[in-house]
Structure 1
Amino acid sequence: MRLRRCGADAMLVEVDSLDEVQAVRTALADADLPGLVELVPAARTVLASFSPGSGGLARLRPLLDTVDLSQRTASAPREVVLPVHYDGPDLELVAQTAGTDVAGVIELHTGAEYKVAFCGFAPGFGYMVGLPGALQQPRLDNPRKRVPPGSVGIAGEFTGAYPTASPGGWRLLGHTDATLFDSRREPAALLAPGDVVRFEAV
């Protein structure tokens, strides 16, 4: 575990795996640290931000010394089902790479259970782990200039859904009509780290 100061009131905790990210995030969230404003998990880091003068940052390092990086969260995760129209432009490519057909891709993708490891790239974009091995494929050689909102794709060990239109290089399997991010909603993002997600073909 490596610690890097980020300004006067934040610390970046660097670890070696997504499981360790989850262990750190859970420990800090459960610790009731004074002045904790935000915890931001990513692929190998957790950013902890505190209110100025709260004293929370000073208590962070001793707490981290007690964290068991092998621990797993014991609380029941929130479950989210995302309906998906499997009509993506890369279905044939994914099927060919996986050594199956389109029906096989859909069966693989809907048959797995995913966990939101962290959010990023765009507001409401959840990076989900749990993708079957055959679907763990590289990004496109030439990213698209515009990926439509709701597009469901895969890249490396992750699957996810684009909350808004943006450039992107993930292989697209289909699209969901779910509203993944709405600034007028509370919470604005449909998905949060720790959520368990299933995809359902419609």
Structure 2
Amino acid sequence: MRWLPYGPDATLIECSSLEEAGAVRAVVAAAELPRVVEIVPGARTVLVAAEPGSGVLAEVRSLVEAADLDHPPAGSPREITIDVHYDGDDLDEVARTAGLSTAEVVELHTGAEYTVAFTGFAPGFGYLTGLPEPLRQSRLDTPRTRVPAGSVGLAGEFTGVYPRSSPGGWRLIGRTGTVLFDPRAERPALLSPGDRVRFRSVH
């Protein structure tokens, strides 16, 4: 783990793995330090921003270095269910590559509980961990120039939902009408790091 200054009032913590980054985020979030103004997790990093001149970053470092990162605090995650029509353009190919039927792909995808590891790429896009091993596949060799909003996809160890129309290279297995990002809402993004997510098949 490396601690890098990120301006005068923030620190970037470089972690060895996605799991370690998630544990660091959980430890800092659970402490609810009043002078920490933002925690921004990534795939292998956690950015912690503090109130100017507060000196709380030293406290953050002591907290993290003393923590048992193999058993981070669970907190009180929100539980979110997203209804999905499993009719994505790549569903048949995902099933063929995995050696499964499309019904088995749906069963695996809906049977798992996912955690929002971090957000990015587009406002409201959550990178969800917990994807069953048979469904872990590479991105498309040639990304699509347009993926419709609400498309449910998977790539590598992640699954997620495109909150708006955009280019993308994830394998699409379904679509949802759930709104992932609404800038006019009190809470614009539906998903936040640490949230638990389940997908439910609808017809």
Q: TM-score range by the shorter chain?
A: over 0.9
Q: SS state of the match for residue 65, structure 1?
A: helix
Task: Describe the superposition over 1:28-85 as per-residue Cα deviations: whole angstroms up to 9, x where unpaired.
Answer: 1233435211000111111001121222224333333212221232333211100001
| Alignment of structure 1 residues 122-201 onto 2, 5 Å | 122-201=122-201
Instruction: Indicate the larger mover: 50-59 or 150-159.
Output: 50-59
Q: Deviation of residue 142 (structure 1)?
A: 0.3
Q: SS state of the match for residue 100, structure 1?
A: coil
Instruction: Indicate the larger mover: 109-118 or 65-74.
Output: 65-74
Query: Across the two proteins, how many residue pairs are aligned to each other?
Result: 202
Q: SS state of the match for residue 26, structure 2?
A: helix
Q: Is the 8 A contact 1:34 1:54 kept in 2?
A: no
For 1:183 and 1:79, locate their aligned partners in 2 and report how far apart those are by CA, in whole Å.
Answer: 21
Question: Which residue of structure 2 lines up, in the alignment, with residue 86 of structure 1?
Answer: 86
Q: Is the 8 A contact 1:34 1:55 kept in 2?
A: no
- The 1:197–1:34 alpha-carbon spacing in structure 2 relative to 1, beyond 3 Å, is closer
Task: Describe the superposition over 1:77-118 as per-residue Cα deviations: whole angstroms up to 9, x where unpaired.
Answer: 211100001111101110110111211211111111111111
Q: Is the 8 A contact 1:89 1:173 kept in 2?
A: yes
Q: TM-score, normalised by structure 1?
A: 0.94
Q: SS state of the match for residue 83, structure 1?
A: strand
Q: SS state of the match for residue 77, structure 2?
A: coil
Of all paired residues, the percent bearing the same amino acid is 60
For 1:194 and 1:32, locate their aligned partners in 2 and report how far apart those are by CA, in whole Å.
Answer: 14
Q: Is the 8 A contact 2:26 2:74 kept in 1?
A: no
Question: Which residue of structure 2 lines up, in the alignment, with residue 24 of structure 1?
Answer: 24
- The 1:147–1:14 alpha-carbon spacing in structure 2 relative to 1, beyond 3 Å, is same
For 2:33 and 2:145, locate their aligned partners in 1 and report how far apart those are by CA, in whole Å.
Answer: 42
- The 1:194–1:32 alpha-carbon spacing in structure 2 relative to 1, beyond 3 Å, is closer
Q: SS state of the match for residue 142, structure 1?
A: coil
For 1:142 and 1:15, locate their aligned partners in 2 and report how far apart those are by CA, in whole Å.
Answer: 30
Instruction: Indicate the larger mover: 21-30 or 142-151.
Output: 21-30
Instruction: Indicate the larger mover: 26-35 or 171-180.
Output: 26-35
